[in-house]
C-alpha cells in the first residue's frame, strides 16, 4: 500500500512540476521584448499577431516541443478547480472517519490493553480535525454535491452494522482483538480512497489532505499489526 502511495504521489507531482515549468516559461517570455523590423521572423510575427510572444512548451517523452500562443500556454496549465472526485472523496471520507470515531470512543472503557487505548486516542485526535477540515473545504467550495454511483455503505474498509454491534458488546482482550482487526481494515480502506483521489482529483487542498491520510494511517496500520 505504501508503494501505491509513492507511485501516485510521484505521478501527480510530475504533473504539477510540468505545469510550474510551463508557467515559468510563460512569465519569462512575457518579460522579454520581441525584436522589431526586418529581424522579425515568421514565428515572432505570428506570435505578435496573437497578442504576445510565442511560448515553447516541452513535449512528453519522445515527443517534440510545441510552440504555443500565450492564450494556449495559459490554458495548458491545469486549473485547481475541484472536480467530482474531489467532492466525492471529501463527502465520503467524512462518513468514513465518523465510523472510526464511533469505534475509538468505545476503547476507553472496554479495552484491556493500554496500548489499544492509546492508539484509539491518537486516531480520534487525528481524525476529528480532518473531518472539520473536509467540512470546511466543502463549505468554501459551494457545499456537498449530489453523488451518483457511490454508496456510503460500500466504502472500502467500513465495518458492517453486525461487526459494530459485536464490538460494542466486547470487553477486555476480546475487544482489543476485534478493535485492531476492524481498525486495520478500516485504515486500509481510507488509504485506498486517498490513493484514488490522488489519481483522479484535481484540487491541491484535497491532495494534501489525502497525502496526510495515507502517511498517518499507513503508520498506524504498521503499529496496530505489531500489537
Q: 41 and 133 in one domain?
A: no
Look at phi and psi of residue 172 and say left if phi exceeds 0, alpha if psi is from -120 to 50, else beta. Answer: left
Q: 187 and 133 in one domain?
A: yes
**Full domain range(s) for residue 63:** 2-76
Over residues 52-77, the pLDDT tens digits come to 566 676 665 667 777 867 776 666 55
pLDDT band per the 50, 70, 90 thresholds, residue 39: very low
Over residues 195-222, the pLDDT tens digits come to 999 999 999 999 999 999 999 999 999 9
Residue carrying C-alpha cell 472496554? 110
The per-residue pLDDT for 51 is: 54
Q: 188 and 114 in one domain?
A: yes
Query: In 10 A of CB 155, how many CB atoms?
Result: 18
Over residues 85-130, the pLDDT tens digits come to 999 999 999 999 999 999 999 999 999 999 999 999 999 999 999 9
Q: 137 and 36 in one domain?
A: no
Q: 200 and 122 in one domain?
A: yes
Query: In 10 A of CB 96, how many CB atoms?
Result: 23
State if pTM tops 0.75.
no
Query: In 10 A of CB 150, how many CB atoms?
Result: 11
Question: Total structural domains in the chain?
Answer: 2
Q: 96 and 46 in one domain?
A: no
**What CATH number does residue 93 fall under?**
1.20.1260.10
Q: 26 and 115 in one domain?
A: no
Chosen domain end from 23, 41, 76:
76
> Which range has the worst mean pLDDT, 4-13, 99-108, 179-188?
4-13
The per-residue pLDDT for 145 is: 86
Q: 44 and 108 in one domain?
A: no
Amino acid at each position: 500500500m505504501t508503494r501505491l502511495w509513492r507511485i501516485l504521489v510521484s505521478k501527480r507531482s510530475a504533473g504539477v512540476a510540468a505545469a510550474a515549468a510551463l508557467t515559468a516559461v510563460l512569465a519569462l517570455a512575457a518579460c522579454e521584448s520581441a525584436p522589431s523590423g526586418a529581424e522579425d521572423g515568421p514565428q515572432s510575427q505570428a506570435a505578435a499577431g496573437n497578442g504576445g510572444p510565442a511560448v515553447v512548451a516541452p513535449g512528453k517523452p519522445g515527443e517534440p516541443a510545441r510552440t504555443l500562443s500565450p492564450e494556449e500556454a495559459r490554458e495548458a496549465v491545469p486549473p485547481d478547480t475541484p472536480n467530482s472526485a474531489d467532492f466525492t472523496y471529501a463527502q465520503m471520507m467524512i462518513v468514513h472517519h465518523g465510523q472510526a470515531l464511533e469505534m475509538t470512543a468505545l476503547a476507553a472503557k472496554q479495552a484491556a490493553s493500554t496500548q489499544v487505548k492509546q492508539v484509539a486516542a491518537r486516531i480520534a485526535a487525528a481524525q476529528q480535525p480532518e473531518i472539520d477540515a473536509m467540512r470546511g473545504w466543502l463549505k468554501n467550495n459551494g457545499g456537498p454535491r449530489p453523488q451518483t454511483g457511490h454508496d456510503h455503505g460500500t466504502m472500502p474498509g467500513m465495518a458492517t452494522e453486525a461487526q459494530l454491534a459485536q464490538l460494542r458488546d466486547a470487553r477486555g482482550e476480546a475487544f482489543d482483538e476485534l478493535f485492531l482487526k476492524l481498525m486495520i481494515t478500516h485504515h486500509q480502506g481510507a488509504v485506498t480512497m486517498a490513493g484514488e483521489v490522488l489519481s483522479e482529483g484535481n484540487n491541491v487542498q484535497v491532495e494534501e489532505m489525502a497525502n496526510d491520510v495515507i502517511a498517518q494511517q499507513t503508520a498506524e496500520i504498521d503499529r496496530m499489526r505489531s500489537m
